[in-house]
Structure 1
Amino acid sequence: MSDTPRSHGRKSIRPTSKPHSLMSDDETLADAWQVRVVTLFPEAFPGVLGLSLTGKALKEGAWQLHTHDLRSFGIGKHRNVDDTPAGGGAGMVMRADVVGPAIAAAQEHARGQWPILYMSPRGRRFDQAMARDLARCDGVTILCGRFEGVDERVLDHYGIMEISMGDFVMTGGELAAQAMIDATVRLLPGVLGNADSMVEESHSNGLLEHPQYTRPAMWEGRGIPDVLMSGNHQEIAKWRRTESEELTKKRRPDLWEKMRADD
């Protein structure tokens, strides 16, 4: 990590009871990967992103996180952000004349390759390949929805890509956005100390990761497989590949079939 270029700069962050202080709303580091989150709950960020390796990288300026409070773009005395669905129905829909200006404000800072994403259960499913693509971008703007969703005209106008974390529905997009950001930030240069760990982990090669073991050599009557203690790296690599394939076949036959089709 000590050899990682610091051209993106470094932020001086002191311990605080307010995690939001890790974020920079005013200063933009020229070469840092940028995230702009449009949300009704800016206080939810950085959340877990301020911890561990992502938090360290945020502190060091390898990436930057900015929030845009949707409520500040609200309509009228009460800053309303939603209204009843056109055509009737349950729930509320986030207004185009609220979300649109918020997206526009976020995009004033965009440069280069900078997609706009909307966390939505009807979107394309997020995966490791998408995380790699996002890590190669200059930045990303993420819209976190609430209620019954967002007026479709905003999505069409800005060419926003809808992204899903899976076949389930959440109360809002904030947690999903944090998961997507975490998966992407760890792929940025210098964030992970051991580059080899990214090569061997689940989904990096289309397979689930092989089982892992460490000391003690014996626990509750269960030992570490002999091959891992043999020192024969060729046999260890073969064992790990076989285990990865068997796990993938058993637990994720969809991934196994996809990998076979790609071959």
Structure 2
Amino acid sequence: MRIDILSLFPEMFKGPLTESILGKATEKGLLDVHVTDFREYTTDKQRHVDDAPYGGGAGMLLQAQPIFDAYDAIQKEVGPDTSKGRVILLDPAGQKFDQHLANELAHEDHLTFICGHYEGYDERIRQIVTDEVSLGDFVLTGGELASMVMIDATVRFIPGVLGNHDSATGDSFEDGLLEYPQYTRPADFRGMKVPEVLLSGNHQLIAQWRQKESLRRTLHRRPDLLESAHLTGQQRHLLSDIKIEEDESEPE
């Protein structure tokens, strides 16, 4: 996958995109990241990339010209053989980013992120955009941090990036539920013991326990996820068992 990032602060990306999983993905040739400082494309003598909004108002808006010209230069560089892919505008008013969108984006050959600053964008910038995306209902000082998070979540789904493909498919939210509890050695740490079923070697019972505990954790921590989750008949049965167990355990 090729990822292009349009930003006024390209130095911000050096650590997060060159270390750990993302750095290894680049070394393997699975990821090719390019960061473009779109200030380099301004035609303003003072190198301004923002201006006051027509009609008045607080703050400054990013101008269309530097971003359009930077984007055109990227398209010229990648050539006609590389797909335009998805062009993502980081915007608090955009679609909320989640695990399913990350998986969807991972199937693209080319992604371009436009990182904003100041009060907002000249509306015409949206003409080159395919997706407007937000991390959540809060405002950051710029789109750089949001784009790093989205890139990290997306690249995990590219085949070969993680040592074990099941690491991505088993993540929290992948099936609409939170991940089940996990343990490693020792089996008894300061009197806190690993559940016996995980030591049994019975893979069928282990799978059932994990599914049940995933439902239990989701019920306790994110019950809102259960409202939109597509539960199987077995999962609905397990959820009923959990509620009965917990009702019975409550003191009268």
What TM-score results when the alignment is normalised by the length of structure 2?
0.85
Amino acid at match of 1:215: R
Shift of 1:232: 1.5
Match of 1:67 in 2: 35
Matched, 1:136 2:107: yes
Match of 2:224 in 1: 254
Amino acid at match of 1:228: L
The equivalent position to 2:215 in structure 1, one of 238, 245, 259, is 245
Mapped partners of 1:72, 1:113: distance in 2: 22
Identity of aligned residues (%): 47
The equivalent position to 1:201 in structure 2, one of 164, 168, 171, is 171
Match of 1:100 in 2: 68
Matched, 1:56 2:42: no
Shift of 1:192: 0.8
Where 1:90 maps in the other structure, the secondary structure is coil
Contact 1:34 1:138 in 2 (8 A): yes
Match of 1:171 in 2: 141
Deviations 1:98-127 (A, max 9, x none): 222122222332622601001111100111
Matched, 1:234 2:181: no
Change (3 A) 1:47 1:96: same
Amino acid at match of 2:112: T
Deviations 1:165-209 (A, max 9, x none): 111111011111111111111111111111222222211222110
Shift of 1:261: 7.7
Match of 2:250 in 1: none
The equivalent position to 1:153 in structure 2, one of 103, 108, 124, is 124
Match of 2:186 in 1: 216
Where 1:50 maps in the other structure, the secondary structure is coil
Change (3 A) 1:164 1:204: same
Contact 2:88 2:129 in 1 (8 A): no
Amino acid at match of 1:134: L
Structure 1 spans left out of the alignment, 5+ residues: 1-32
Contact 2:188 2:194 in 1 (8 A): yes
Q: Which has the larger radius of gyration?
A: 2
Amino acid at match of 2:99: Q
Contact 1:113 1:137 in 2 (8 A): no
Contact 1:106 1:141 in 2 (8 A): no
Contact 2:159 2:165 in 1 (8 A): no
Shift of 1:223: 1.2
Contact 1:38 1:106 in 2 (8 A): no
